[in-house]
Chains A and B, each alone.
Chain A
Amino acid sequence: MRIENTRYEQPVLATRGLAKRYGRGCPSCYALTGADAVSNVCPRCRTVIACQGVSIDLYPKEVLGIVGESGSGKSTLIRLLHFDIEPSEGEFYLRIEDKATKKNIGTDFNGRNLVPLSPYQKRQIRNFAMGIVYQHPHLGLRMNISAGGNVAERLLMANWRNVADMRERAGELLQKTEVPVSRLDEAPRNFSGGMQQRVQIAKAMSNRPMLLLFDEVTTGLDVSVQARVLDLIRRLQKELNVSAIVVSHDLGVIRMLTSRTIVMKNGEVVESGITDQVLEDPQHSYTQLLVSSAL
């Protein structure tokens, strides 16, 4: 990957050598696992290497795709970026330029590795700078709280304290995501899968984060519903000018939504490049296999 050093072309998100191990680990773990070894499990110590050596960059206003099959480490990576889990190794940087966001977070962490920060600081960053949409709505929504309440939860985390304001904003966002406003006070438990995802999207956007993370958001949805959700994501990303990372095993989703893509296998990044180039001129054997296998 070539990176230019002009001021406006700095990544907003960068990771260097991010790794996640489950188990006690041994000196040969990384060497004996990964794409070439076609395995995530160290044969010597049985440690699971969910991902290793992941170094990615995300540029302003771009959508980065992460594609891979099960065991590729793509969901682990998203969870690492969202501070849901802690890395075993590596560095993680965010460049936050928005003044309001900076003020809310309190401290300026630009240029600092975020991995050693306290859980409180990570939560601050997560609440004010990130939004996430999970594959399973029950991971991202509270099913026994109203749809409006779910959206309001993010606002409450961002220290909103006016009920009327929050309801208005929740209503606005649900309208944007094409959820009927009449269902504002209804619990998402009763919604269809597609509508639940749209509530998640509304929630993720509610505090205007600079970074959106999408983890297999259309997997499991009916095809027509999928198209609607993808279109919504595409429109919103353009409208809000946010940077986004889209994780999917579906090359069609990657093609539709992303401008750059990385391919992961057994926890390692095997290829990265402009999306249409990765899909039409794949360099790595695994990418070629993926592309030629797509229906």
Chain B
Amino acid sequence: MSRSLETQPLLSVNRLCKHFIVHNRDGKKIEGFAKASFDVPKGSVLALSGSSGIGKSSVLKCIYRTYLPSNGSVVYRSRMYGTVDLAALSEYRILQLRAFEIGYATQFLKILPRVPALEVVAEPLLDGKTSPARARTEARRILGRLNIPAALFDAYPVTFSGGEQQRINIARAVVARPRLLLLDEPIASLDEASIDAVIDLLSELRDLGTTMVIVSHNSKILKSLANQVYRLPAKPNQITPCEADRLDAGASHAG
């Protein structure tokens, strides 16, 4: 890549905002989060922080396209398609990026009930990226790093504790070495030892060049992992930022 591209951030979120229209409440509008803008250089870790309910998870979901952004752009320098705006990109390409470049882990594990933990973690690698045997080996390695005992590899994650499920989630998100990793409260239900294991693993990934956006207000993460912290501003009460933008800039609606 040319030097100028190298210096551009991998991810650039510009005046991103999200509101929900609840039709069954007569079209009531609910604010997702206030205008968010931040840049994430390649190989760096950005921590998203702010008080509870302020919309941090929603920001991540807008990047991952689980939510349709109401306004603003999410510019991502992808390997497959060049520089794209994730907010406006076609569904097919979003799915391709999710499969090959962007990883995401929430606090909640949503998987098919009777799939063993090892298969759950190995799955992202089974899309033809590598042999099934290598996929499982790598899955085992990651699970080991996260202190999941080998005895649980064949067990069904629905029977696991909250902390174990969370680690399964993280393992699945990182196993395919995504270029961009989005993590929502990755250590929320973990004990001290597990927290250290996770931070260890994530640091290693960062050193290998993975770019991350992590929602957390845990001080350990903020200190040892994050290169920068972005605090989401409070939601305004009157005119929503989205409308304000449209009024003064005539910006087109992305959704």
Please list the residues of chain A having a beta carbon within 8 angstroms of any beta carbon in chain B.
Answer: 1-4, 9, 59, 62, 224, 227-228, 230-231, 234, 238, 241, 255-256, 259-260, 273-274, 276-277, 280-281, 283-285, 288-289, 292
Main secondary structure of the interface of B (DSSP, over half): loop
Question: Is there contact, CB below 8 Å, between A260 and B95?
Answer: yes
Cβ–Cβ < 8 Å partners of A241 in chain B: 128
Question: Is there contact, CB below 8 Å, between B65 and A274?
Answer: yes
Listed stretches B2-10, B85-93, B175-183, B234-242; interface member: B85-93
Question: Is there contact, CB below 8 Å, between B66 and A259?
Answer: no
Residue among B24, B67, B95, B112 with max Cβ neighbours from chain A (10 Å): B112
> What 6 A-B pairs have minimum CB-CB distances, sorted nearest first?
A285-B23, A2-B90, A281-B67, A227-B113, A227-B114, A276-B66
Question: Is there contact, CB below 8 Å, between A277 and B68?
Answer: yes
11 A-B pairs in the complex with CB atoms less than 8 angstroms apart: A3-B92, A224-B114, A228-B114, A231-B112, A234-B112, A241-B128, A273-B68, A274-B66, A277-B65, A277-B67, A288-B24
Say whether, besides A62-B95, A238-B127, A259-B95, A227 and B68 are in contact (CB < 8 Å): no
Q: Scan residues 109-162 of chain B and give those whose CB is less than 8 A from a CB of chain A.
A: 110-115, 126-128
Cβ–Cβ < 8 Å partners of A285 in chain B: 23-24
Residue among B21, B113, B127, B128 with max Cβ neighbours from chain A (10 Å): B113
Chain B, residues 80-103, CB within 8 Å of chain A (1/0): the string is 000000001111111100000000
Question: Is there contact, CB below 8 Å, between A59 and B92?
Answer: yes
For the complex formed, measure the closest distance between the CB of A265 and the CB atoms of chain B, giving whole angstroms: 13
For the complex formed, measure the closest distance between the CB of B103 and the CB atoms of chain A, giving whole angstroms: 14
Of all chain B residues, which has the CB nearest A57?
Answer: B92
Question: Is there contact, CB below 8 Å, between B24 and A289?
Answer: yes
CA distance A282 to B23 in the complex (A): 10
Cβ–Cβ < 8 Å partners of A288 in chain B: 22-24
Of all chain A residues, which has the CB nearest B62?
Answer: A281
Cβ–Cβ < 8 Å partners of A230 in chain B: 112
User: Is B255 an interface position by the 8 A CB rule?
Assistant: yes
Identify 8 new A-B residue pairs, CB closer than 8 A, beyond the known A224-B114, A256-B111, A277-B66.
A2-B90, A9-B90, A231-B114, A273-B91, A274-B65, A274-B91, A280-B61, A288-B22
Cβ–Cβ < 8 Å partners of A231 in chain B: 112, 114-115
For the complex formed, measure the closest distance between the CB of A232 and the CB atoms of chain B, giving whole angstroms: 10
Say whether, besides A238-B127, A281-B20, A288-B23, A4 and B67 are in contact (CB < 8 Å): no
Cβ–Cβ < 8 Å partners of B90 in chain A: 1-4, 9
For the complex formed, measure the closest distance between the CB of B133 and the CB atoms of chain A, giving whole angstroms: 15
Cβ–Cβ < 8 Å partners of A277 in chain B: 65-68
CA distance A2 to B126 in the complex (A): 28
CA distance A284 to B113 in the complex (A): 29
Cβ–Cβ < 8 Å partners of A2 in chain B: 88-91
Say whether, besides A231-B112, A285-B24, A288-B24, A280 and B67 are in contact (CB < 8 Å): yes
CA distance A85 to B125 in the complex (A): 40
For the complex formed, measure the closest distance between the CB of A40 and the CB atoms of chain B, giving whole angstroms: 21
Say whether, besides A281-B66, A283-B68, A283-B255, A9 and B24 are in contact (CB < 8 Å): no
Say whether, besides A277-B66, A288-B22, A9 and B112 are in contact (CB < 8 Å): no
Of all chain B residues, which has the CB nearest A285?
Answer: B23
CA distance A259 to B113 in the complex (A): 18
Cβ–Cβ < 8 Å partners of A1 in chain B: 90-91
Cβ–Cβ < 8 Å partners of A281 in chain B: 20, 61, 66-68
For the complex formed, measure the closest distance between the CB of A237 and the CB atoms of chain B, giving whole angstroms: 11
CA distance A54 to B19 in the complex (A): 29
CA distance A288 to B112 in the complex (A): 23
For the complex formed, measure the closest distance between the CB of A291 and the CB atoms of chain B, giving whole angstroms: 10
Cβ–Cβ < 8 Å partners of B23 in chain A: 284-285, 288-289
Q: Scan residues 4-41 of chain B and give those whose CB is less than 8 A from a CB of chain A.
A: 20-24
Say whether, besides A238-B127, A285-B24, A289-B24, A274 and B67 are in contact (CB < 8 Å): no
For the complex formed, measure the closest distance between the CB of A43 and the CB atoms of chain B, giving whole angstroms: 25
Cβ–Cβ < 8 Å partners of B68 in chain A: 273, 277, 281, 283
